Chain A
């Protein structure tokens, strides 16, 4: 089968920057990458895509006030149409910043799936299962039923599903265990928020006598398909449990800092223990962007500052975390002012960035020369603006 030919590429082969032609995907198309740096497109390990609708709302409030007064009331007014339009805007931002794949947790999953199919990106989507009802489902049982319906409908392709109990504080033990069983039955990821705040940790400890990850291990939630999101407050015992179970962790440094979680995911302790660590933006309401270039830079700076160590979280480490499992390509002009000079292109990409000009996903050009090819960007933005106004009515 013919593969897509990317000619005249300057790319990172995992060790060095090299030049030459690359084969990719099975479309048979050709793309001239002369004068451009080609890198694996980003994999955003955690987001709530349609929360673009809430970007900036209630900004600067304390976490609980922000959730209670702004986010939860807005989410009670969500509709499938709003989620679709919010997702489309999020996808524009992802395409324009070089992300081709993401792990999502949000309501009305079918709408986000439709948007991802249209945009041509890849996603693994999960319904945030909570014990309380939402406009999407009545209760946790209903949410699990919806999640199973999605899993049953799953076909090979760019859009897949996972099981996403929200957290230990919004789910009872029975639901968490059922979520685990569901993820195992369909061989998919089990993703959940954990140890994001000190309060979550001490509440869990008071209730169960265990720290959150220790608790999850005790009820059999940790496995090779478990993706722990945030993990901002971890003890070394919990790090060991994550490693022993082969679970993965997604670091969301910008969101943790913006919401003043206070904790800092122990990146080097986790990596030293052999844990796979990815990078995520979290939703656009707590970041407030979906830009993985910013996430790499700020994540690196956070670790260096936190540990008083300039060697911590170096550019290549952050780059690897941001592109885990990537099979797609993004392009930045080599003469972009923020990519000059060329002493270290990975360092430039992580710390100074540059405008993404092209994106190839699954052997297909999604953006070429700054123009999105798969849908009408201006119309999607117009639809989004109307949707965001509808949400604050």
Chain B
């Protein structure tokens, strides 16, 4: 089965890629979408520039698709790019967002390929803990929820950080997996990568949210 993985560089798309690879499927491409809008409707804007390095470390060609700011037209370039790839299906890191999944399913339906979401409706707390336990280096690149302060920016999730997220979940109801957009992530290393992505960054914090501004990035 020839597969393209929708890849943002974040934890969900990395784990979806890991699953697809270990289903024995032939992952031929990573596809990443850069929104030309500062406020993306579907895609992870912060730190997306790191995806090229991540793809290089993974060893798969990266197809870059620029998407327009109009939410109705946003997926058209993605659909057109997927059509060119001659794949049997896509794999995405969709966790629980009906909006995201329905729209991906629709464009795949339109071009006659399948749309797989291996993480769909998995227990999010368990899945993030498993990722950390399995050696994925998940860096927090953006914080957008009450309880997540500046100290989280640039942090690599470990057992202690996950315990803190559990406490924040109980206190504020935030998703431990960041599914509600509470935080954005970037996987700097993992068992599916040959080299670690190293990042030099500055923090940009405004009132109650912030993100890292990547100053330099390279493969170790």
Contacts and interface: CB of A to CB of B under 8 A. Distances in A.
Interface of A: 198-199, 201-202, 205-206, 233-236, 238-239, 262-266, 268-270, 306-308
B25 A269 contact: yes
B191 interface: yes
Contacts of B60: none
A202 B24 contact: no
Contacts of A270: 24
Interface class of chain A by DSSP = helix
Contact of A205 (B1, B23, B133, B191): B191
Given A198-B134, A201-B191, A270-B24, 8 more contacts: A202-B134, A233-B23, A238-B24, A264-B23, A266-B25, A268-B1, A306-B23, A308-B116
B135 interface: yes
B157 to A, nearest CB: 16
B22 interface: yes
A198 B130 contact: yes
Given A206-B191, A308-B114, A201 B22 contact: yes
Contacts of B97: none
Interface in B119-177: 130, 133-135
Contact of B26 (A198, A199, A202, A236): A236
Nearest to B126: A62
Contact of A199 (B23, B116, B134): B134
A238 B130 CA distance: 23
A56 to B, nearest CB: 24
Given A202-B135, A206-B135, A308-B114, A233 B191 contact: no
A268 B25 CA distance: 10
Contacts of A201: 22, 191
Q: Indicate the member of A199, A238, A307 with the most B CB atoms within 10 Å.
A: A307
A85 to B, nearest CB: 38
Interface of B: 1, 19, 21-26, 89, 114, 116, 130, 133-135, 191
B116 to A, nearest CB: 7
Given A307-B1, A308-B116, A198 B22 contact: yes
B22 A263 contact: yes
Contact of B24 (A206, A236, A262): A236
Contacts of A202: 134-135, 191
Contacts of A205: 191
Contacts of A308: 89, 114, 116
A308 B1 CA distance: 11
A198 B191 CA distance: 11
Contacts of B89: 308
24 contacts: A198-B22, A198-B130, A198-B134, A199-B134, A201-B22, A202-B135, A202-B191, A206-B135, A206-B191, A234-B23, A236-B24, A236-B25, A236-B26, A239-B24, A263-B22, A265-B24, A266-B24, A266-B25, A268-B1, A269-B24, A270-B24, A306-B23, A307-B114, A308-B89
B196 to A, nearest CB: 14
A235 B135 contact: no
A114 to B, nearest CB: 40
Nearest to A195: B22
Nearest to B1: A307
A55 to B, nearest CB: 26
B24 A234 contact: yes
Contacts of B191: 201-202, 205-206
Q: Indicate the member of B22, B114, B130 with the most A CB atoms within 10 Å.
A: B22
A37 B156 CA distance: 62
A239 B21 CA distance: 11
Contacts of A263: 22-23
Contacts of B135: 202, 206
Instruction: Kindly list the 3 A-B residue pairs having the minimum CB-CB distance in the complex, ordered from nearest.
Output: A266-B24, A202-B134, A233-B22
A234 B133 CA distance: 20
A236 B114 CA distance: 19
A273 to B, nearest CB: 9
Contacts of A307: 1, 114
B185 to A, nearest CB: 18
A202 to B, nearest CB: 4
A235 B22 contact: yes
A264 B26 CA distance: 15
A269 B24 CA distance: 7
Contacts of A265: 24
A204 to B, nearest CB: 10
Contacts of B23: 233-234, 263-264, 266, 306
A234 B19 CA distance: 10
B65 to A, nearest CB: 23
Contacts of A269: 1, 24-25
Nearest to A239: B24
Contacts of B24: 234-236, 238-239, 265-266, 269-270
A260 to B, nearest CB: 10
A311 to B, nearest CB: 13
Contacts of B21: 235-236
Contacts of A234: 22-24
A233 B19 CA distance: 8
Contacts of A268: 1
Contacts of B25: 236, 266, 269
B26 to A, nearest CB: 6
Nearest to B89: A308
Contacts of B26: 236
Contacts of A262: 19
A262 B121 CA distance: 13
